[in-house]
Amino acid sequence: MPEILLVIASDPFAVRAALGQILDDPCMADLRSDLRARAEIVLAEVLNNVVEHAYADGPGEIILHLRCVQGGVICRIRDFGRAMPGLALPGGAAIGPDPVELPEGGFGWHLIRCLTEDLQYCRRDSRNELSFRLPETARAH
Amino acid sequence: MELVAKETGGLLLVQVLERRIDAASAIQFKDRMRDLANRTAGNLLLDMSQVTFLDSSGLGAVVAVMKLLGPGRKLELAGLTPTVDKVFRLTRMDTVFVIHPQLPESLRDAS
């Protein structure tokens, strides 16, 4: 089963480079362009959240594991930084009639929640683990 | 962050010559746009046709530019590529900004 395992530094330029590497990987190159676009959006948000929040205090490593399976891409992202506040995923910021009023950071989690399935977070042995599936076919919005 | 600006017909046309407005470049984009916006008093039209990717930081920067223009001036967008368009639609920002499928014909030579 085609898979990608990457370890990257917690840095926005390392995130950018990793996204390029993932999308160029043979495992991802054959996917439909819509799924590739969704993968890039979601992985950018997830990885940049780790850089900005989990590793807000300093450097660290982010471990990515992606598996291309029948029906989509299964992703697991681990880091050794700060836990999510309350050990839970931030609430799904619903976008109201005036999207501009969405609190800072709300766009990112909104995008992740729109584009993933089976989104799960757990904290184990001083480690954060976020897992989700990018479905083959996008949900209607 | 390479932006090329040209004043044309009372409008400041800004062409983004970068592939990505993301967490690594959003602050630079916002700062450069602020400088350009301060040089003129009219509306801005942002040509995004070279930008293939924009994340929530980039989106936040575009919204910040709109806010710093204030209520009397407008920021319009043109030429969103597929992934950028998807981010605008999913966050309903397509209802906030006037988005032109491509640059108006009268401005194409200007860029």
pLDDT at B80 over 70: yes
Three-state DSSP class for residue A71: coil
Residue B72: give the domain boundaries: 3-106
- pLDDT, averaged per 10 consecutive residues of chain A (141 residues), comes to 93 97 91 94 97 96 96 96 93 67 75 96 96 90 63
Domain membership flag for residue B111:
no
Q: State the SS3 of chain B.
A: CCEEEEEECCEEEEEECCCEECCCCHHHHHHHHHHHHHCCCCEEEEECCCCCEECHHHHHHHHHHHHHHCCCCCEEEECCCHHHHHHHHHCCHHHCCCEECCCCHHHHCCC
Up-side HSE of residue B10: CA atoms within 13 Å toward CB? 2
Query: pLDDT at position A141, please?
Result: 63
Enumerate residues 6+ apart whose C-beta is below 8 A from A58: none
Three-state DSSP class for residue A35: helix
> Minimal Cα–Cα distance from B32 to chain A, Å?
19
- With CB atoms and an 8 Å threshold, state whether B23 touches A52: yes
- Cross-strand partners of A122: A129
Domain membership flag for residue B56:
yes
On whether the CB atoms of residues A73 and A133 are closer than 8 A, the answer is: yes
Question: Which H helix or E strand runs over B17?
Answer: none
- With CB atoms and an 8 Å threshold, state whether B59 touches A107: yes
**Residue linked to tokens 């054959």:** A30
Instruction: Residue B13: count other Cβ atoms within 10 Å of its Cβ.
Output: 21
Domain membership flag for residue B72:
yes
* Domains of chain B: total: 1
Query: pLDDT at position A99, please?
Result: 66
pLDDT at B111 over 60: no
Query: pLDDT at position B77, please?
Result: 97
- What confidence tier does B104 reach under pLDDT thresholds 50, 70, 90? confident
Residues 54-93 of A with CB under 8 A from B: none
**Residue linked to tokens 């994340």:** B55
Query: pLDDT at position A29, please?
Result: 86
Backbone angles phi, psi at B29, to 5 degrees: -60, -50
A141 residue type, one letter: H
Better pLDDT: A94 or B50: B50
Domain membership flag for residue B32:
yes
CATH number corresponding to A3-135: 3.30.565.10
**Residue linked to tokens 């989990």:** A54
Domain with B68 in it: what CATH number?
A: 3.30.750.24
Domain membership flag for residue B75:
yes
Question: Is residue A43 less than 8 Å (CB to CB) from chain B?
Answer: no
Q: Residues of B with CB below 8 A from A114's CB?
A: 90
Q: Mean pLDDT in chain B? A: 93
Distance, first Cα to last Cα, chain B: 17
On whether the CB atoms of residues B5 and B47 are closer than 8 A, the answer is: no
Chain A to chain B Cβ contacts (< 8 Å):
65
State how far the Cα of B101 lies from the Cα of A76, in Å rounded to an integer. 36
Question: Is residue A33 less than 8 Å (CB to CB) from chain B?
Answer: yes
Query: pLDDT at position A132, please?
Result: 98
- With CB atoms and an 8 Å threshold, state whether B91 touches A38: no
On whether the CB atoms of residues B96 and A99 are closer than 8 A, the answer is: yes
- ipTM value: 0.92
Residue percentage of chain B with pLDDT more than 90: 83
Query: pLDDT at position A25, please?
Result: 94
Q: Over the stretch B3-26, which tens digit does the pLDDT of each residue have?
A: 999 998 889 999 999 999 999 999
